[in-house]
């Protein structure tokens, strides 16, 4: 979408972008404030090693937030993200030390994510079953597959690959930017262009000749791919695979996407918002850790902050409407 | 009002019956029970079926609230946490001492209702999407529970709970009886009171219901409060059957309640369906789980079977109507 406008009118492009950023200014400010607080509490953050470590704790959440956001933009949702992350982790841990090596492992992980995502999409879209319950059932099937592949934590990731992704290099940060860039490119393809239209007004889009079903199924496939890649990264981080490691990501991905202003009904929100939302969640967890909160209190704070972050724009909007 | 009732309960005819999802779900349950009874000796025995019903009672109770909320166009992701609050809370309150335990149970039921009410408050007045509001509430409760109860199991001893968990009245477990009574009330409220009619209206079209004079905010808060109460009741029943409560005891019931509602033919989009479908939905869910346990398979295969069966049943009963 953006690239098409850009070729026509440069000023219009930036105005559209500015318009889309406007609702996110509050979020960006909060993220910046939390980052500043984190840097103040932990000055070590402002070094290559500090940034690397932080980016490594953030990357999986950023990936699953994007995986959830792309579905929510088309009006879908997935409760299978966590299970898919686990599946990606166990496939990486079992294939990478095998015959085909790291490259083969990456291909296997990506292919499984795409196929599983696309299957969920076909079932939900073509058979017209509600996405929430299809992905709920899928989460059992995918989680079962992960348990079949690796019944208990184990497997191995080659050491050099772990060092490359999760060592003292800012590789994770580079990956975030790379994925964000690829998302921009995807939005310029016909399927990417259809994404927002299919979410915002499926019937209208269909009548206008937009391939609504294809765009939605593609979104499911990409969502699966992003989830298994998050699993791959976690496996590289821990050096092994765990069939239940992804569980928490289902709800966290929804929370991050919603914090980022992505709506449930489709067509509302931006990917930069979702990424910022995941950053906020990630920084928040780190800050609370440094403030010495027990892990439990983090749940309490997380619940309150999510409600606050979602309710605040609603409340301010209402006060503005009623001068 | 009469007209609306008519469309919800079409005149009896074989075709209408086949299209009635509640009836379809009952038929599937009976089919599964008969087939399993022949295939697996002992499955069809009275004792085993009674045990299944006892398990279904808990899911069924949680699913009352979930059905109400879904019909009204929302979803409640905090029911699992509320079940835990109630199962862990009753022993904690009971420690301060009252004879029969009735007082403790009542306090906890009020607390569970208040939690639901808070959910409703957030959804109705702060305009937070139900999924987020209840998800955040669940996260919040989980933290509070671990802070209060820690990681240990807390056992409860009081006569009321013991009766609920173990008593048999003319051979029927007290839990099943409780479920039957509450179900009757839930069905009556849903189909024979203005409140029930408002739920359907709210789920079908919130704007139109607001314009036709329904107090959307009050109805929303009430429906989430009912969900909290139902989940609290389920927690009390689990505590009675289990003898002890621990953090995480209610977690499985979140997804089970949603699955029961959808298997029972209630549209996840709101505005249609009935608790009459959720009852066989809950029984079906428990039956599937029991069948999978009988099949001697690894945890992975069991999980795959369970997911596949739910998908399969969805194809039979849970399809959204064709969009025009």
User: Are A260 and A54 in contact, with CB atoms under 8 Å apart?
Assistant: no
Whole-number Å distance between alpha carbons of A223 and A217: 10
Quick one: closest CA in B to A259, which residue?
Answer: B132
A254 touches chain B (CB under 8 A): yes
Contact B122 A311 (CB under 8 A): yes
Instruction: Note the pLDDT tens digit of each residue in B272-300.
Output: 888 888 898 899 888 888 888 777 778 88
A308 touches chain B (CB under 8 A): no
Residue in B137, B268, B303 closest to A144 by CB: B303
The rounded percent of chain B whose pLDDT value lies above 70 is 89
Contact B304 A141 (CB under 8 A): yes
Whole-number Å distance between alpha carbons of B108 and B101: 11
Q: Where are the beta strands (DSSP E) in chain B?
A: 154-155, 168-169, 172-173, 244-245
Interval B195-200 mean pLDDT: 90
A304 touches chain B (CB under 8 A): yes
Instruction: Note the pLDDT tens digit of each residue in B257-273.
Output: 988 888 888 888 888 88
Which phi and psi (to 5°) does residue B173 adopt? -60, 145
Whole-number Å distance between alpha carbons of B284 and B312: 13
Contact B143 A298 (CB under 8 A): yes
A203 touches chain B (CB under 8 A): yes
Contact A306 B132 (CB under 8 A): yes
A119 touches chain B (CB under 8 A): no
A291 touches chain B (CB under 8 A): no
A247 touches chain B (CB under 8 A): no
Contact A138 B140 (CB under 8 A): no
What's the confidence (pLDDT) of residue A268?
80
For residues A51 and A86, the model is more confident at A86
Report chain A's mean pLDDT, rounded to a whole number. 84
For residues A19 and A271, the model is more confident at A271
In this model, does residue A128 exceed pLDDT 50?
yes
The 3-state DSSP composition of chain B as helix, strand, coil percent (nearest 5) reads: 75, 0, 25
Each domain of chain B, given as residue ranges in start order, spans 22-317
For residues B219 and A154, the model is more confident at B219
The torsion defined by the Cα of A83, A86, A90 and A92, in degrees rounded to 10, comes to: 110
What residues in B contact A136, CB-CB < 8 Å? 255, 258-259, 310
Interface probe for B, chosen from A75, A121, A129 (most Cβ of B below 10 Å), is A129
Which phi and psi (to 5°) does residue B172 adopt? -100, 130
Of the candidates B285, B275, B322, the one whose C-alpha atom is nearest the C-alpha of residue B306 is: B285
For the domain spanning B22-317, the CATH number is: 1.10.3470
Interval A18-47 mean pLDDT: 80
Residue in A133, A151, A297 closest to B258 by CB: A133
SS3 B155: strand
A174 touches chain B (CB under 8 A): no
Q: Which two tokens stand for residue A146?
A: 């992960």
Whether the predicted interface score ipTM is above 0.90 = no
For residues B230 and A4, the model is more confident at B230
For residues B260 and B132, the model is more confident at B260
What residues in A contact B320, CB-CB < 8 Å? 128-130
Closest approach of B179 to chain A, Cα-based (Å): 25
For residues A19 and A51, the model is more confident at A51
User: Are B289 and B303 in contact, with CB atoms under 8 Å apart?
Assistant: no
In this model, does residue A144 exceed pLDDT 60?
yes
Q: Where are the alpha helices (DSSP H) in chain A?
A: 2-8, 10-22, 25-41, 48-73, 81-95, 101-126, 131-149, 159-166, 171-187, 190-200, 202-207, 212-238, 249-259, 271-290, 295-321
């Amino acid at each position: 979408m953006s690239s098409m406008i850009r070729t026509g009118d440069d000023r219009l492009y930036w105005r559209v972008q500015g318009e889309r950023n406007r609702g996110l200014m509050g979020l960006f400010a909060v993220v910046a404030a939390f980052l500043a607080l984190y840097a103040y509490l932990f000055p070590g953050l402002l070094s290559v090693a500090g940034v690397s470590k932080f980016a490594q704790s953030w990357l999986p959440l950023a990936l699953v937030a994007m995986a959830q956001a792309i579905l929510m933009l088309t009006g879908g949702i997935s409760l299978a993200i966590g299970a898919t992350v686990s599946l990606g982790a166990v496939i990486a841990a079992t294939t990478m030390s095998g015959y085909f090596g790291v490259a083969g492992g990456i291909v296997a992980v990506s292919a499984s994510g795409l196929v599983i995502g696309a299957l969920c999409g076909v079932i939900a879209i073509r058979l017209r079953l509600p996405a929430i319950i299809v992905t709920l059932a899928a989460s059992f099937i995918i989680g079962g597959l992960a348990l079949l592949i690796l019944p208990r934590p184990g497997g191995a990731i080659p050491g050099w690959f772990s060092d490359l992704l999760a060592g003292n290099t800012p590789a994770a940060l580079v990956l975030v930017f790379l994925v964000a860039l690829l998302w921009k490119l995807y939005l310029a393809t016909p399927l990417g262009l259809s994404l927002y239209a299919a979410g915002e007004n499926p019937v209208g889009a269909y009548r206008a000749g937009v391939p609504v079903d294809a765009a939605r199924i593609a979104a499911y496939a990409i969502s699966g791919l992003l989830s298994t890649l998050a699993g791959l990264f976690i496996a590289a981080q821990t050096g092994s695979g765990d069939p239940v490691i992804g569980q928490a990501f289902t709800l966290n991905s929804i929370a991050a996407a919603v914090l980022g202003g992505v709506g449930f009904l489709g067509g509302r929100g931006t990917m930069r918002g979702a990424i910022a939302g995941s950053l906020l969640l990630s920084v928040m967890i780190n800050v609370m850790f440094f403030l010495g909160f027990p892990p439990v209190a983090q749940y309490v704070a997380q619940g309150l902050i999510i409600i606050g972050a979602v309710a605040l724009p609603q409340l301010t909007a209402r006060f503005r409407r009623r001068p | 009002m009469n007209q609306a009732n008519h469309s919800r309960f079409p005149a009896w005819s074989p075709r209408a019956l086949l299209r009635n999802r509640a009836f379809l779900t009952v038929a599937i349950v009976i089919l599964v029970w008969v087939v399993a009874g022949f295939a697996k000796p002992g499955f069809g025995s009275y004792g085993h079926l009674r045990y299944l019903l006892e398990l279904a009672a808990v899911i069924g109770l949680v699913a009352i609230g979930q059905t109400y909320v879904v019909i009204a166009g929302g979803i409640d992701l905090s029911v699992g946490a509320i079940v835990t609050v109630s199962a862990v809370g009753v022993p904690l309150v009971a420690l301060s001492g009252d004879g029969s335990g009735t007082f403790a149970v009542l306090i906890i039921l009020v607390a569970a209702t208040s939690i639901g009410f808070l959910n409703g408050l957030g959804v109705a007045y702060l305009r937070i999407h139900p999924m987020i509001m209840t998800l955040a509430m669940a996260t919040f409760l989980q933290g509070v529970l671990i802070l209060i109860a820690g990681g240990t199991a807390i056992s409860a001893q009081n006569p009321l709970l013991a009766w609920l968990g173990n008593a048999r009245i003319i051979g029927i477990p007290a839990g099943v009886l409780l479920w039957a009574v509450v179900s009757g009330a839930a069905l009556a409220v849903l189909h024979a009171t203005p409140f029930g009619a408002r739920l359907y209206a709210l789920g079908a079209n919130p704007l139109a219901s607001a314009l036709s004079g329904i107090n959307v905010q009050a109805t929303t808060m009430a429906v989430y409060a009912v969900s909290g109460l139902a989940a609290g009741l389920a927690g009390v029943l689990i505590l009675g059957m289990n003898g002890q409560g621990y953090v995480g005891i209610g977690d499985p019931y979140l997804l089970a309640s949603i699955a029961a509602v959808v298997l029972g033919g209630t549209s996840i989009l709101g505005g249609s369906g009935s608790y009459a479908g959720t009852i066989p939905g809950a029984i079906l869910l428990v039956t599937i789980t029991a069948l999978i346990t009988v099949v001697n398979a690894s945890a992975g295969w069991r999980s795959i079977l369970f997911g596949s069966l739910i998908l399969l049943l969805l194809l039979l009963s849970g399809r959204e109507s064709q969009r025009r």
